[in-house]
Structure 1
Amino acid sequence: MRRFPVPELVAFAGRALTAVDVPADDAELVGDSLVAADRRGIGSHGLLRLPLYVRTIRAGGVTARARPRWLREHGATALLDADGGLGQVAMAVAVDRAAALAGTHGAAVVAVQGSSHYGAGGYWTDRLTDRGMAGLLTSTTGASVTPFGGARPVLGTNPLTVAVPSSGDGPLAVDMATSTGAYGKVVAARDEGREIPQGWAVAADGSPTTDPAAALGGALLPFGGPKGSGLSVLLEVLAAGLTGANYADQTVDMWIDPGSRMNAGHLLLAVDTAAFTGRAHTEARAADMQERVRSAGPPGGAVHAPGDPERAHQRRTGDRVPLAAPTVDQLDRMAAELGIEGLGGDT
C-alpha cells in the first residue's frame, strides 16, 4: 500500500476529469466522493474507478458537461433527468432537492434517470444526516448478479444505503451491495491477483468459483439466498420502475463497454426527523441503539454498530489515504495518457 495526502488525491482526480472536459466544480465533487470512499476503506468505490470514468467520458458513454433537468415535481416527489452525466453530479442536485422538499413536507422522494455510477452511497446519505435527516438510497447498475437459484446475470448489485443521524460519533448507517460481494471488489481482486471468497460468485457454467476473472465472466450471487435476491429485485423495480431507467439486463455496463449509455436509475428517500419527535430525540435514540449494539458482545469481544468499521478505518488512515500499488499504477498510466502530472512516489 502507498499513502497519499487527501488534498493531493482530490486534486489529482480533478486534473484527470478536467482533462476530459468535466467542469472544475463537478470534477472536484467527483474526486472528493472517490477519495472519501478510499478513506473509509471502500476501495471498490474509490479512485480505482477514476480510470473507468475517464475512459467512459472519452468513449462517449458519459456526458462530461451534463445539464441535469427536472422532468416532474408533484408534492413531495420529483423526477430528475441526469442528461447522461456522471452520477455524482446528478446526486448532488437530487440530494439538495430532497432535503428542501423534506424540510417542507416532512419526507420526500426524488428519483433520477439517465444517470451513471454515483460512487459510494454513504457519501450522499451523509449529506442528509448532516442536516438532521434520515435517508434511504438505491440504484440500478449493469447486470452482474444472478437471482437465487440462477446462473445468468439478470440483476445488478443494486446497492442499498440507509442512514439515521445520531448524537453519537457518527450516523447509524448501512451502505451495502445486495450481492454477497461488491462488483468493484471483484475487479480489485482480479487486478491484484487475489481470489474472492467462497460463496460470492459462480462461473458461466453455474459452478461455484473463487477466481475473480471467472466470476466476472459468470455472475455474482445475492447475499442471504432468496431473501437478498428478493430484496434486490424490489430495489431494482423501484429505481427503474419509477423512472425511465434501464433494468440491469437491458444495460451494457461501463466496465464492459465504456461507450455505452447505462441510463442508470437512482431513488432517494429523505425523512426530516424534526417532523416527528424532533431531531434531538431521534439522534439520541440512534446513539442509544449504537451503544446497545456495541455492548452485545461477549466479555472481551467487540460488536460494531452499522457505520463503525468505516469510521474506524478513516480514523486509522487519517488524512493520508492508502492505495493498493496496482491502483496507483493504473492511475499513473491514465495520467500519462492524459498528459497530466501523475501521483508519483510515496509521500
Structure 2
Amino acid sequence: MDRSYPVDALVALGARALEAAGVPSADAELTAAALVDADRRGIASHGLLRLPLYVSSVQARGVNARPNPTWVREHGAVAVLDADAALGQVAMAAATERAAQLAGQFGVAVVAVQNSTHYGAGAYWTERLTARGLLGILTSTTGVTVTPFGGVEKVLGTNPLTLAAPSAGPASLTADMATSAGAYGKVVAAQNEGKPIPEGWAVDADGRPTTDPTAALAGALLPFGGPKGSAVAVLLEALAASLTTASYAYQTEDIWANRSARMNTGHLLLAIDTAAFTSREHTERRVADLQEKVRASAAAGETTFAPGDIEHAHAQSHAETVPLAGSTVAQLVELLTSLGLETTPLEP
C-alpha cells in the first residue's frame, strides 16, 4: 500500500544516502531533488525507485562520485561536455545552464554530452529552460533494452524524448516520454510489485509477446507506435550518440546489470530563445492559446489534457507530500540501513 511522505524529508533522505556513498553535498541534493520531483509528477519509474541503483553504482565506481566535467569543444552556439562519468543530473545541470547562456547569445544552442549516466525525468531539465522563456528539446541514449520493429535482438535504448515550450498558462507545454512502449523503470517497478505489464510492451527471450516483467527484462522492450515509433527511436539514438564519443545502447554495459560499468551515456539538448524570433510574451501567449484549444476539444462531460497537464496537476497536488510504493519504501529502508543511516521518515 502506498504511503505519503514529506517532500523535504525525502530530498534530505536521498541526499544523505548519496553523500554517504561519497557524492558532494551540492551534487547529492541536486540529484535527490530531481528524483523526488519525478515522484511528485507521478513518474515513479524515474523517482526514488532509482536511488539504490545510483548509490550502489557510485560505490562500485560505475558512476563517478567526484567527477571533473570538461567542456571539450565550444564552437559558437555548440558545446560538448565530457561528464567524466558523473551522475546524469550533475551533467545535465551544467548542460542546461550552458545551453541557456548560449541561446541567449545566439538565439539557439545545441549542447551534447558524452561520458554521462542516467539523468532522470527529462522534463526536470527542459522546465529549467521554459522558466527562462526558452523552448527545449532533449534526448539521450540509455542501456540496451529495446528491439527495433520486427526484431528480437536488443539494439536500442528507451531513448527518451522531451519537448517543451513555455506558456503564459500555469504549466509549460511538455511531452516527456520514452520511445519504448513502456519505460524501463516502469517494468522494473512492476517486477518489484509483482504486477504484470501491459500487452504490447515487450517480448521474452524467444521473441514471444509477454506481460511478465521478469520475462520482459530477460527479453526486450518494444518501440512505441510500430515502425514509425521504431524509426523515431533509431534516429534519437543517432542524435544522442553520433555527434560525440558516447556509446550506442548496443555498445553499453548498463549499471542495472553491472554496477561498476561506465555507461558513457550521450545526451543532446537544444535550446531556442523565443525572444530571438518575436518575443517571449508572444510565444507564451500563443502556446497558452494552443493548450486551451486542446483542452476545449473534449466531448461534453469529458476531459482532454494538453501534454504535461497531468504531470503538472500531480506535482501541484503533491507539493508537500509524495506517495511512494511499498516496494520502493522497503528498498529505501534496506539502502539506508546498509549505509548506517536512520530510516526516518520512512518508519511507520
Task: Tell me the TM-score normalised to structure 1 length.
Answer: 0.99
2:157 aligned residue: 156
1:329 aligned residue: 330
Alignment-mate amino acid for residue 326 of structure 1: S
Structure 1 residue 343: Cα displacement = 3.6
CA contact under 8 A between 1:2 and 1:346: conserved in structure 2? no
Alignment-mate amino acid for residue 28 of structure 1: E
1:81 aligned residue: 82
1:271 aligned residue: 272
CA contact under 8 A between 1:332 and 1:344: conserved in structure 2? no
Pairing of 1:33-44 with structure 2 (within 5 A) = 33-44=34-45
Distance across 2 between alignment mates of 1:260 and 1:6: 31
The alignment's C-alpha RMSD in Å is 0.8
1:214 aligned residue: 215
Alignment-mate amino acid for residue 252 of structure 1: E
CA contact under 8 A between 1:111 and 1:266: conserved in structure 2? yes
Alignment-mate amino acid for residue 70 of structure 1: W
1:45 aligned residue: 46
1:192 aligned residue: 193
Pairing of 1:90-105 with structure 2 (within 5 A) = 90-105=91-106
1:224 aligned residue: 225
- Cα deviation 1:109-144 (Å, max 9, x = unaligned): 000000000010000001000100000000000000
Distance across 2 between alignment mates of 1:121 and 1:99: 16
Distance across 2 between alignment mates of 1:213 and 1:129: 38
- Cα deviation 1:168-197 (Å, max 9, x = unaligned): 011000000000100000000000000000
2:126 aligned residue: 125
Distance across 2 between alignment mates of 1:316 and 1:131: 24
- Cα deviation 1:52-84 (Å, max 9, x = unaligned): 001101111010001111000001000000001
CA contact under 8 A between 1:77 and 1:110: conserved in structure 2? yes
**Compared with structure 1, are the counterparts of its residues 345 and 159 closer, same or farther at alpha carbon in structure 2 (3 Å cutoff)?**
closer
Distance across 2 between alignment mates of 1:286 and 1:135: 14
Structure 1 residue 317: Cα displacement = 2.5
Aligned: 1:134 with 2:172: no
Distance across 1 between alignment mates of 2:212 and 2:313: 30
Structure 1 residue 315: Cα displacement = 2.5
CA contact under 8 A between 2:114 and 2:267: conserved in structure 1? yes
- Cα deviation 1:26-69 (Å, max 9, x = unaligned): 00000000000000000000000000001101111010001111
Alignment-mate amino acid for residue 96 of structure 1: E
Distance across 2 between alignment mates of 1:300 and 1:171: 25
Distance across 2 between alignment mates of 1:230 and 1:13: 37
Runs of 4+ in 1 over 2 A off after TM superposition: 315-318, 343-347
1:261 aligned residue: 262
Residue correspondences, number: 347
CA contact under 8 A between 1:4 and 1:346: conserved in structure 2? no
Distance across 2 between alignment mates of 1:24 and 1:341: 18
- Cα deviation 1:140-180 (Å, max 9, x = unaligned): 00000000001111000000000000000110000000001
2:312 aligned residue: 311
Distance across 2 between alignment mates of 1:262 and 1:86: 11
2:294 aligned residue: 293
Distance across 2 between alignment mates of 1:288 and 1:2: 38
2:25 aligned residue: 24
Q: Specify the SS of the correspondent of 1:237.
A: helix
Q: Specify the SS of the correspondent of 2:287.
A: helix
Q: Specify the SS of the correspondent of 1:65.
A: coil
Distance across 1 between alignment mates of 2:18 and 2:36: 14
Q: Specify the SS of the correspondent of 1:334.
A: helix
CA contact under 8 A between 1:133 and 1:271: conserved in structure 2? yes
Distance across 2 between alignment mates of 1:345 and 1:51: 15
CA contact under 8 A between 2:5 and 2:345: conserved in structure 1? no
Distance across 1 between alignment mates of 2:129 and 2:317: 25
**Compared with structure 1, are the counterparts of its residues 344 and 7 closer, same or farther at alpha carbon in structure 2 (3 Å cutoff)?**
closer
Distance across 2 between alignment mates of 1:196 and 1:213: 10
Distance across 2 between alignment mates of 1:316 and 1:89: 27
Q: Specify the SS of the correspondent of 1:299.
A: coil
Q: Specify the SS of the correspondent of 2:333.
A: helix
1:338 aligned residue: 339
2:107 aligned residue: 106
Alignment-mate amino acid for residue 154 of structure 2: P
Structure 1 residue 316: Cα displacement = 2.7
Distance across 2 between alignment mates of 1:79 and 1:311: 31
CA contact under 8 A between 2:9 and 2:345: conserved in structure 1? no
Distance across 2 between alignment mates of 1:112 and 1:17: 23
Distance across 1 between alignment mates of 2:46 and 2:346: 23
Alignment-mate amino acid for residue 233 of structure 2: S
Task: Tell me the TM-score normalised to structure 2 length.
Answer: 0.99
